[in-house]
């Protein structure tokens, strides 16, 4: 009976501890770090369907974080559309897939110090005669696609004055709309634009002539747990100083957008 009572007490205090938001102790107790990733993010957290292996700077850094914490790593599938709910409903303890730090998101989730920063880029088709440069995008009759939940959605809602904005919420729908001709361009960032040029033979990159809307990328977690937040911040400081961040940025072709300070 004493043994059973001890188990109940241990379970009670463990649950109470987790309820109080001590995520770092939960990670240590379960020996597992649960990290939300978007598996379609080339160079960031891309899942190869053939090998079922992740590649990208944030999936690499998730492994480094788990090593530093001396725990196992579990990737949890997420997306920009479900990101906020996934974090606040404890689907994962931290989201690590180059999340744009925006005012709208900061109202709901807590961001770490940035490790990347990207401007906005556009992808059209090589045979689209309407879009030859950045100034051609915002013209009457053009359709500009963005993915629902990405930071490109509010940016383009504000920026576009003449073109029509198309917000899509299905996987690969941005690309399909442009490739089919139902949209003229879709807006994206440096890592995903790079993927399109490497992985397709029809995509054409349209770059802004000057800085259009640069956004810092970071990781995100729920509010209310300074202990876990500060531990992740120490990890970010460490990888910037010891060279791991730069090394993995170079490995994944993201050196142009890495933030080392």
DSSP classification of residue 140: T
Residues 35 and 160 in one domain: no
Q: Over pLDDT 70: what percentage of the chain? A: 92
Of 17-21, 63-67, 132-136, 235-239, least confident by mean pLDDT is 17-21
Interval 156-171 mean pLDDT: 95
Please tell me the predicted confidence (pLDDT) of residue 2. Answer: 54
In a domain, 48, yes or no: yes
Please tell me the predicted confidence (pLDDT) of residue 172. Answer: 87
Interval 144-152 mean pLDDT: 94
**What count of residues does the chain have?**
261
Residues 194 and 227 in one domain: no
Token pair of 57, please? 């700077």
**Which residues are CB-contacts of 64 (< 8 A; sequence separation ≥ 6)?**
235, 239, 244, 248
pLDDT band at 12 (very low <50, low <70, confident <90, very high): very low
In a domain, 99, yes or no: yes
Name the CA dihedral angle for 52, 55, 58, 59, rounded to a multiple of 10 degrees. 30
Backbone angles phi, psi at 157, to 5 degrees: -60, -35
Interval 67-83 mean pLDDT: 97
pLDDT band at 6 (very low <50, low <70, confident <90, very high): very low
Residues 100 and 200 in one domain: no
Q: Please state, in angstroms and rounded to a whole number, the distance separating the CA atoms of residues 58 and 12.
A: 35
Which residues make beta-bridge pairs with 143?
Answer: 164
Q: Strand pairing of 110-111 and 94-100?
A: unpaired
Mind listing the pLDDT tens digit for each residue in 99-134? Answer: 999 999 999 999 999 999 999 999 999 999 999 999
Are the beta carbons of 183 and 120 closer than 8 angstroms?
no
Please name the helix (run of DSSP H) or strand (run of DSSP E) that holds residue 118, with its range, or none.
strand 116-118
Rounded to two decimals, what is the model's pTM?
0.85
Q: What is the mean pLDDT of the chain?
A: 92
Angle separating helix axes 226-241 and 23-30, nearest 10 degrees: 80
Q: Please state, in angstroms and rounded to a whole number, the distance separating the CA atoms of residues 84 and 4.
A: 39
Residues 145 and 199 in one domain: yes
pLDDT band at 171 (very low <50, low <70, confident <90, very high): confident
Q: Would the pLDDT of 5 be above 80?
A: no
In a domain, 211, yes or no: no
CATH number of domain containing 138: 3.40.190.10
Give the DSSP letter string of 32-101. EEEEEE-TEETTTEEEETTTTEEESHHHHHHHHHHHHHTSEEEEEE--TTTHHHHHHTTS-SEEEEEEE-
In a domain, 223, yes or no: yes
Domain that holds residue 173: 120-206
Interval 224-246 mean pLDDT: 97
Residues 70 and 144 in one domain: no
Residues 228 and 200 in one domain: no
Q: In what order do the strands lie in the sheet with 45-48?
A: 40-41, 45-48, 53-55
């Amino acid at each position: 009976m004493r043994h059973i009572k001890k188990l109940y007490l241990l379970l009670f205090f463990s649950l109470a501890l987790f309820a109080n938001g001590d995520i770092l102790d939960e990670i240590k107790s379960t020996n597992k770090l649960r990290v939300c990733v978007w598996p379609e993010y080339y160079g960031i957290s891309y899942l190869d369907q053939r090998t079922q292996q992740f590649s990208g700077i944030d999936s690499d850094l998730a492994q480094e974080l788990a090593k530093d914490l001396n725990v196992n790593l579990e990737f949890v599938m997420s997306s920009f559309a479900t990101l906020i709910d996934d974090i606040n409903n404890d689907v994962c303890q931290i989201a690590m897939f180059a999340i744009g730090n925006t005012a709208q998101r900061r109202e709901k989730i807590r961001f770490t110090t940035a490790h990347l920063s990207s401007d906005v880029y556009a992808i059209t088709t090589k045979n689209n005669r309407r879009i030859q440069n950045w100034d051609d995008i915002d013209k009457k009759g053009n359709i500009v696609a963005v993915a629902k939940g990405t930071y490109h959605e509010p940016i383009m809602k504000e920026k576009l004055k003449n073109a029509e904005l198309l917000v899509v919420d299905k996987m690969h729908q941005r690309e399909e709309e442009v490739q089919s001709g139902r949209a003229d361009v879709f807006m994206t960032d440096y890592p995903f634009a790079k993927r399109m040029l490497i992985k397709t033979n029809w995509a054409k990159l349209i770059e802004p002539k000057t800085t259009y809307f640069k956004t810092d990328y970071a990781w995100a977690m729920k509010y209310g747990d300074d202990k876990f937040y500060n531990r992740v911040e120490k990890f970010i400081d460490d990888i910037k100083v010891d060279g791991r961040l730069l090394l993995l940025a170079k490995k994944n072709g993201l050196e142009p957008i890495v933030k080392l300070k």
